[in-house]
Structure 1
Amino acid sequence: MKFELQHTDPKSGARAGLIETDHGKIETPIFMPVGTAGTVKAVHQRELHYDITAQIILGNTYHLYLRPGLDVINQAGGLHKFNGWDKPILTDSGGYQVYSLGDNRKITEEGVTFKSHIDGSKHVFTPENVMDIQRTIGADIIMAFDECTPYPCDKKYAESSMHMTHRWLDRCTEHFDRTEPVYGYSQTLFPIIQGSTYPDLRMKSAEYIASKDREGNAIGGLSVGEPHEDMYAMTDLVCGILPKDKPRYLMGVGTPENILECIALGIDMFDCVMPTRNARNGMLFTSEGIINIKNEKWKSDFSPIDPNMGGYVSTFYSRAYLRHLIISKEILGAQISSIHNLSFYLWLVKQARLEIQKGTFAEWKNTMVKKVTTRL
């Protein structure tokens, strides 16, 4: 993987860059639609390509490992061949999903023993086998195995967990570097910074991760319930330590406001289930603000969902029609809403990139934050 830093905003930390992988180029800042089980919910790959204009999507190691399983993915020739997506893919390590299992998992130095949420069967994730699993899935960018601490989190536990994440990272990198890709194209390993919301821990973790000199770096353990101010403070702190010539990925973030503020702090890559999850419940993100399409006020509104964005779905379907579909629980409603919200997120980061290139990002960001947080 290669990364070129192309522009920086003179009044903020915002950056525009270019990531090159064997499956294509990614213009940053970028939002990555989440395809948990090998699919972005309710969206065809054709729509991801042409309507949403996604450049990279996510797959989830935990879910894909359990179903359909590694044998099926391997027989297909990897996730790209299995789901028909020929652009870059990133897989998370499954650490967050294991963390969210609560009483159904046990964490030790060796790794994590957990019970499947599907059938209760017992499984083990270690730093080594998670590298093997992601090799078999075949993503272009894979994540190190880490422990995601909850919020709030006792500092003693956060520190102990951080050091274990670092030890796991050493095992991940050693195993990754002595193995080869399964399908003939290169893969890149990103380590993950932890440390909860404790500045000294975040600094130590960022310094440790930076010292590993991998091709990119990720920030984990945020957007887990902490105040936005803490998220921004930790992100700002970490970005001041991470090398400028490598992409920075803030995991699981977030709202349009979060994304704009964190682009301003120097983040290049984002992912979140929010645009699709909220879409299925009738919440739409638009260039002028947030719409709850279930509200009565949209019943006879025949204007486009968002005429400012362009794109077929956002400009062709009316708010009244989409409200009818959502209220009627028609599957097409979830599909249109999901395509629109993802299109908005991709539109937003594309506009951010253009403003960074023009040197006007800071002023534009302040205007857009007010708009995207307004409830219409």
Structure 2
Amino acid sequence: MYVKRILPNGVRLITERIDNMRTVSVGIWVGNGSRYEPAELGGVSHFIEHMIFKGTEKRSARHIAIAIDALGGQANAFTDKECTCYYMKVLDSRLKNGVALLADMFLHSRFAQEDLELERGVVLEEIDMYEDSPEDVAIDKLFERCYDGSALGRPILGTAETLEPMTSETLHKYMREYYRPQDTVVAVSGHFTDDDLDFIEELFSEMQGEGKNVITPAAYQPSLFLRDKEIEQNHLCLSFPGVSLVSEDRFAMNLLSSILGGGMSSRLFQSVREQNGLCYSIYTFTTPHLDTGLLSIYTGLGQETERKALDLILRELDEFCQNGPAPDELSRCREQVKTTLLMGLENTGNRMMTIGRSELLRGEVSKIEEVLDSYDSVTADDILNLARRVFDRSKASLAVVGQPDSEDTYRELLR
């Protein structure tokens, strides 16, 4: 059962007690990510995420690293388009020590200028690392093009140009203005006591600030992105406008994605790889956000098989829009999605991620039974109607990284 406390300053504490566990996972979720940043501060949220681990008023970066290892736990963080999360997993007996450390990092980071200079280099190396992954380049650059002109389309990591002017005061000022109590959720899942929760509440009661961050709506636009890269394969990402993370169609969308490219028995894997041998890897994925979303297909293949594979993918989508899913497909994929969901509940880290993200972005946490019922209620007609809305070729977007053909060639294929 999920229990929510709202602190006087607006911080939400969402908890799930599991008595038969020895571990507990804690996450500090902030309703701030790259799409909230001013253009000139692109990447500042991710930079802050890095700097949180670099020392507080009473702990050095080395002290923090030693303390985390001494707890025998795991600690990390990530920045997304719409949120940032700092999290830790420890034994229940060490929860207070762990959360005290995490709260100190979150509330009292120094952002020393000498540390900032060093970490800026680390972030620049991270940007270069992604540039060396053609799969990431295809997916991320296409997303940027689809939402070009909006904050949602800007890269999470920022750029060398936006990172260079940032100082310690830049980061402190941004945290004061964008890390707000009402936009903060502390999620706890695992074995803990009421005294543990009172301790957590006391730690986060000192957080100050008012109001909530507001997104600027993003509009999807069909796009074509081509990048020459000296590699053996061409990496393709084909995207269509999908649904938001609060849409009633999100369950049907997840099943549609699973049927098309969610596993070895999926349509695209069977057709493109198993029956025609055109690629090694092909899969589908969804990218839902608060007000928009994408459904995408990725594959990597040789230049000589690219045209045939892309044509085959489009024909599979057309056929699906004609006839929809077969009964055994829907049944199989429904069970696959539900089983994956249930198996994830055996890990307190996964459970914490689920309740924290849900409370932060949707303002509620659904019971697992309600989620399973939502998947069970999706019909073949629901998926067929959704596919017909989504797979409109006039709204298709495509990225090709490797040795791409001409723009006209791809535009002709997408007609």
- TM bucket by the smaller chain? under 0.3
Q: Whose helix proportion is higher, 1 or 2?
A: 2
TM-score, normalising length: structure 2: 0.24
**Relative contact order, CA 8 A, sep 6+: which one is greater?**
2
Q: Give TM-score, length-normalised by structure 1.
A: 0.26
